[in-house]
Copies of this chain bind each other. A is one copy, B any other.
Amino acid sequence: MTCAVLCIGTELTRGELVNTNAAWLASALTDLGFDVIEDVVVDDDIQRISMALDRLGRSVRVLICTGGLGPTTDDLTTRAVAETLGVGLVRDEASLDAIRRRLEKSGRSLSASNAKQSEFPKGADILPNPVGTAPGFGVTIGRASAFFMPGVPSEMRTMFEEQVQPRIRTLAARTTHQIRLRTYGLPESVVGERLQGVEAQYPGVLIGYRAHFPEIEVKVLARAAESESAHALCERATTEVRARLSDVIYGEMDDSFAGIVGHAVRNKGLTLAIAESCTGGLVGHMITREPGASDFLLVDAVTYANSAKTRLLGIDEEVIRGHGAVSSEVAAAMAEGVRRVSGADLALSLTGVAGPGGGSASKPVGTVFIAIASAAGTTVVEKHFHGDRQKIQTAAAYAGLDLVRQACA
């Protein structure tokens, strides 16, 4: 069953916004079992909106549209739909009431431009908006069931899930089941190579990849006529994928790497302290993005200056002077120092050259020393990362978290 996404707005055709709606909708529609064959963006021009609707109404069975439902004179979608269908606009009193109530709640009164948002092409199926003022609507254009939603992502997502999805689910004429696996440790090209042939081996399965450096998420999507078959097919293919990537899968669905590491620390009943230099607080930030991190993370001492390493962590100035701040010795002293001053069970430290400046022949940009200290002793690992400052910081933070995970294994 073919499907298309149409996003309307000059802010998109001028490139002022990245079109996250299109990717979100394409992913949601694929997950429902549709084949999305085209995403289109047109500017706020009534004739071009109309031409796109007419064209897509001939080529797909489901057409999902966003944008141009706001109160301003730039918002032309509803008029364009009415013109495409050759029908008039009709006011919906229930929608007008809902808009008035919503505005009054935030202390505003209904204006003529807001009232415009309660007008719909004659015969439209109105889609309430629990999150904002603009309702959406559904009509038939050509052979397509077409749905129109606001462009604000939070409003669009709620309306799609609550209103549009139930109306189109059966049109996909197949069901799907998906499992997303999260990997860390291999580049996307190698993950792809490892999974070559899986789609052919399991007909009906699509393997998708999403890269968030340095992670690769692998989506196993199975499509079948019956829900149970889709489920079983997905499980079989996922077992195969798990076997091929067993060394790099750290979690699934909405797990995060820092969350899994935090879970491991908490499960062991340990407390953690961090001392960071080149990563500038990134490791602590990753851990504390997850609620509940304060259960086990005592401190993240981001000691940029050598004086801070000495004064806060009690590192001997001679060690820094003798080996340099970026050295195995200082990494070890930082981990041991932050463990001592915080009283934590486990301590992680990172010191390195994130660039762009500061590199040398013996310690080029990308050199990072990572240490783990515990009652059992201290281990230091030397790593060499590539890329710009942000990439080196991210790669180092992941490597540090990975060492914590191993220490809790």
Report the interface size class on chain A.
35 or more
Q: Is A289 an interface residue (CB 8 A)?
A: yes
Q: Which of A41-67 contact B (CB under 8 A)?
A: 41-43, 45, 48, 52, 55
The docked-state distance in angstroms from the alpha carbon of A17 to that of B210 is 7
Instruction: Given A285-B282, A289-B280, A300-B302, check contact A19 B16 (CB 8 Å).
Output: no
Kindly report how many copies of this chain are found in the complex they form together: 2
Q: Which of A296-333 contact B (CB under 8 A)?
A: 297-305, 307-308, 311-312
Contact assessment for A302 and B280 in the assembled complex, using a CB-CB cutoff below 8 Å = no
Contacts of A18 in B (CB 8 A): 18-20, 23
Contacts of A260 in B (CB 8 A): none
Contact assessment for A308 and B342 in the assembled complex, using a CB-CB cutoff below 8 Å = yes
Contact of A301 among B42, B282, B312, B390 (CB under 8 A): B312
Contacts of A208 in B (CB 8 A): 11, 14, 16
The docked-state distance in angstroms from the alpha carbon of A311 to that of B26 is 52
Looking at the complex, which of A32-40, A82-90, A169-177, A239-247 is the stretch in contact with chain B? Answer: A32-40
Q: Is A294 an interface residue (CB 8 A)?
A: yes
The docked-state distance in angstroms from the alpha carbon of A107 to that of B24 is 38
Instruction: Given A18-B19, A18-B23, A26-B13, check contact A304 B312 (CB 8 Å).
Output: no
Contacts of A48 in B (CB 8 A): 37-38
The docked-state distance in angstroms from the alpha carbon of A302 to that of B293 is 12
Contacts of A341 in B (CB 8 A): 311-312
Residue of B nearest to A25 (CB): B15
Contact assessment for A284 and B298 in the assembled complex, using a CB-CB cutoff below 8 Å = no
Instruction: Given A27-B15, A304-B294, A312-B312, check contact A40 B39 (CB 8 Å).
Output: yes
Contacts of A311 in B (CB 8 A): 341-343
Contacts of A55 in B (CB 8 A): 55
Instruction: Given A342-B311, A357-B291, check contact A37 B26 (CB 8 Å).
Output: no
Contacts of A163 in B (CB 8 A): none
Q: Is A356 an interface residue (CB 8 A)?
A: yes
Contact assessment for B30 and A14 in the assembled complex, using a CB-CB cutoff below 8 Å = yes
Q: Is A22 an interface residue (CB 8 A)?
A: yes
Contacts of A273 in B (CB 8 A): 308
Q: Is A364 an interface residue (CB 8 A)?
A: no
Q: Is A12 an interface residue (CB 8 A)?
A: yes
Contact assessment for A281 and B285 in the assembled complex, using a CB-CB cutoff below 8 Å = yes
Distance in Å: Cβ of A377 to nearest Cβ of chain B: 22
Q: Is A379 an interface residue (CB 8 A)?
A: no
Distance in Å: Cβ of A60 to nearest Cβ of chain B: 11
Contacts of A294 in B (CB 8 A): 304-305
Contacts of A11 in B (CB 8 A): 208-209
12 CB-based A-B contacts, threshold 8 Å: A14-B30, A14-B206, A15-B22, A15-B28, A18-B18, A38-B42, A38-B52, A285-B285, A288-B304, A294-B304, A298-B308, A299-B308
